[in-house]
Structure 1
Amino acid sequence: MTMTGVETGRRAPRRRTELAAFLRNRRERISPHEVGLPPGPRRRTPGLRREEVAQLAGVGVTWYTWLEQGRPINASTQVLDAVARTLRLDGAEREHLYRLAEVPEAEPPDETEHLPEDTQAILDALLPMPASVCNARSDVLAWNAAYAAIFPHVVMAPPSERNTMLITFTLPPCCNPIENMAEEMPMHVAVFRYRYSRYMDEPGWKELVQRLQAANPEFGRLWADHDIAMPGPRIKVFRHHAVGEIRTRATSMDITGSAGARLVVYTPTDEESRARVGWLLAHPEQAAPPHRH
C-alpha cells in the first residue's frame, strides 16, 4: 500500500465516526409528526427510527443502518441527496454530510497560510475599520492597528495562541472582548464545525477541538449538538475596558490564491462605535489589557 493509501485508510475511520454521530443526531431531532408518520406505541427513539429514515429516503434499511454505523460503504450523490432531504438538512449541513461521506465532488483543496504580498498594505488601507486575516481554523495571521486596539489579547499572544476560538472560549469574562456571548457562542461553534469537516484529519484541528472541549464545558455541549452554519455577515458587539461597547458588522471575504484564508472587516454600525475606535487609534497606550492572565 502506498503512503497515500495508508493516509486515506487512517482518515476514513475518523470521518465515518463523525458521520455516524452527525446522522444519528439529526435523525433524533425529527419527530414522526413532522414527516407525517404516526407516533406509534412504545417508542424508545426521541426522533425517527433508522428504518423510517430509510423508508422516507427510498434506500435500503440495511444500507442506511450501515451508513449511520460508520461502516465503509460507498454512497452516491443521489442517495445522499435523498437522505439529506429526509433529515431536512440545510445547505451547510448537506455539504458537511458530503464531506464526511467522502463524496469526491466535496473534497476541498489543502489549506495554506501563504498570503499575497500586499495583504498588510490592504489591511492598513482599511483603517479606521478593524480588519484581520484568518485561516479556516480561526488562527489570526495578520491585522491592522484598529484590530490590535480592540483585541490586544489576540495580537499580544504567541503565534500558536492567536486563535479567535481560543479567545472566545478560554478568556475569563473580565477580559473577553465579546459582549453578546450568548448569541455568538452557538454561531461560532456551528461555523467552526462547518469548516472542520474539511480539515478534521489534520492534527492541528483535532488538538484545537480537544483543547476547547477540555477548557470550556459550554463548547463541549455545543460541539455535541452537531449544529452547522454557513459563514456570513453578523452583528458583533465588543466591550473594551477603555471605551466601552463597540458595535460592528463583521464581513468575511475569501482571499483568492490562499485556500482557507479570509479577510474579516468589522464595520462600526453607529457613530459612537466609530468614535470609540478612533479614540483607541489615537491613544494606543490605552488599548493594552489592564492585566494579564
Structure 2
Amino acid sequence: MTGDNAQRNELGDFLKARRAELRPQSVGLPDGDRPRRVPGLRREEVAHLASISTDYYTRLEQGSLPASAHVLAALSHALRLDEDQRSYLYGLAGKSVARPRRRSAQRVRPQWQRLLDQLTESPAMVLGRYMDVLAWNSLAAALITDFSAIPVNQRNYVRLAFLDPTVRNLFDDWETTARTCVAFLRMEAAHSPTDSRLAALVGELSVQDADFRQWWASHDVASKTSGTKLLHHPVAGDLTVDWEILTSAGDPEQQLMVMTADPGSTAHRALSSLISGSAPGPSAANTGSGSVASRAQRPQRTVSVIPRTQTGTQ
C-alpha cells in the first residue's frame, strides 16, 4: 500500500469515527423510519449536511478520492469538529488549515445615522454584513420589532425571519420570503467564505431550522435590490409596502433599506397610524439605545420585510 493510499484510508477511518459519534438530533436531522445498523450518522446524512453528493462522500471514506480544502471545510462543519480535530483532518488530507477570519464589528456610518433620524414618515434601517441590523428609525421599530430589546449578536434579519416563531404568521408568503433571505446570505457568503461570523450564523440556522438547511444546500443566490411585500401587522392590519436598497459609496458593506407606501393607500394610512401611535424619538443604533417611551409603545410581535426577487444557481 502506498503512502498516499494509507493516508487516505486513515482519513476515511477518521471520518467514519467522527460520524459514529453524532446523533441525528444533535445536528438537526430526524431519526427517520429506517432502523440504523450502526450508531451515528449515515453517509448520506453527512453528505447532505456538507452539501456534497453521497457518492462523493463515500469515495472519500473509501480513500479513492482526494479532498479539496472547500470540502474539508464543509465536512468540518458537518461533523462538528473542534479545532484540534479540524487540524488533524486537514493534515491527513495534506492541506493547510484555513483559519476563519475575524472581522471587526461594524458601526453604522454617521451619514446613514443622520438620514435615519430625518426619515420620520418611512420605516428605514441600516443592514450590515450578512444582514445584521445596525440601526433603525422609530417607525421601523414600530413596524417590524423592538430591535433594542434583541441582543446585539442576535440582531440579524435572516435570523429573525427563521427563528422568531411569530414572524411566519406575519408574512403573507413566508416561504418565498425566507428562501430569498437565504439567497441573499449565500450571495454575501461568496465574498468572505471563512468569516467566523458567517460560520456561526449559518451553523446556528442549519441546526435549528430544517428549511434553512435544505435551502442553504441548494446554493440559490440573489442580490438585494427592491421589491414589494404584503404584511399582516398585529396593530396596523394588512399593508403592502415597497422597499428599496441603497448601498453606501463610502462602505459597500452597509445598505439602507427604506419602506414606502403609495400616498392615500390603505398601507400609507396604516403607517401614518403607527407614526401617530408611537412616541417620536431618535433612532437606535447597534448600541441598543433608544427612548424608553418609544419602546414602551411599540408592538411586541415581529415582522420582517424582504422582497420577492429572482434567484439563480451559483
TM-score (norm 2): 0.55
* Residue 111 to residue 265, structure 1, CA distance change in 2 (3 Å): farther
Partners of 1:235 and 1:187 lie apart in 2 by 13
Partners of 2:252 and 2:167 lie apart in 1 by 35
- Residue 179 of structure 2 is matched in structure 1 by 186
Aligned partner of residue 130 in structure 2, secondary structure:
coil
- Residue 273 of structure 2 is matched in structure 1 by 279
How many angstroms does 1:163 deviate by?
0.8
Aligned ranges for residues 227-238 of structure 1 at < 5 Å? Answer: 227-238=220-231
**Residue 247 of structure 2, aligned match among 254, 273, 277:** 254
**Residue 217 of structure 1, aligned match among 191, 210, 225:** 210
Aligned ranges for residues 58-137 of structure 1 at < 5 Å? Answer: 70=68, 113-137=106-130
Partners of 2:69 and 2:233 lie apart in 1 by 50
Contact kept? 1:111, 1:260, Cα under 8 Å: no
* Residue 188 to residue 170, structure 1, CA distance change in 2 (3 Å): same
How many angstroms does 1:223 deviate by?
0.6
- Report the identity percentage: 22
Partners of 1:143 and 1:197 lie apart in 2 by 26
Structure of greater relative contact order (alpha carbons < 8 Å, 6+ residues apart): 2
- Residue 145 of structure 1 is matched in structure 2 by 138
How many angstroms does 1:154 deviate by?
3.1
Aligned partner of residue 228 in structure 2, secondary structure:
strand
* Residue 153 to residue 200, structure 1, CA distance change in 2 (3 Å): farther
What whole-Å deviation, never above 9, does each CA across 1:147-196 have from its counterpart, x for those lacking one? 01011243421222211111100011467643321221111111110001
Contact kept? 2:145, 2:301, Cα under 8 Å: no
Contact kept? 2:161, 2:167, Cα under 8 Å: no
* Residue 133 to residue 246, structure 1, CA distance change in 2 (3 Å): same
How many angstroms does 1:269 deviate by?
4.4
Which has the larger share of helix?
Answer: 1
Large movers: runs of 4+ above 6 Å: none
The one-letter code of the counterpart of 2:298 is A
TM-score (norm 1): 0.59
**Residue 162 of structure 1, aligned match among 143, 155, 158:** 155
Gaps (5+ residues) in structure 2? 1-49, 57-64, 71-102, 279-295, 303-314
The one-letter code of the counterpart of 2:270 is R
Contact kept? 1:235, 1:250, Cα under 8 Å: yes
RMSD value over aligned CA atoms? 3.2
Partners of 1:174 and 1:165 lie apart in 2 by 11
Contact kept? 1:114, 1:258, Cα under 8 Å: no
**Residue 300 of structure 2, aligned match among 268, 289, 292:** 289
Gaps (5+ residues) in structure 1? 1-20, 26-43, 46-65, 73-109
Aligned partner of residue 199 in structure 1, secondary structure:
coil
What whole-Å deviation, never above 9, does each CA across 1:70-127 have from its counterpart, x for those lacking one? 369xxxxxxxxxxxxxxxxxxxxxxxxxxxxxxxxxxxxx786243323222112222
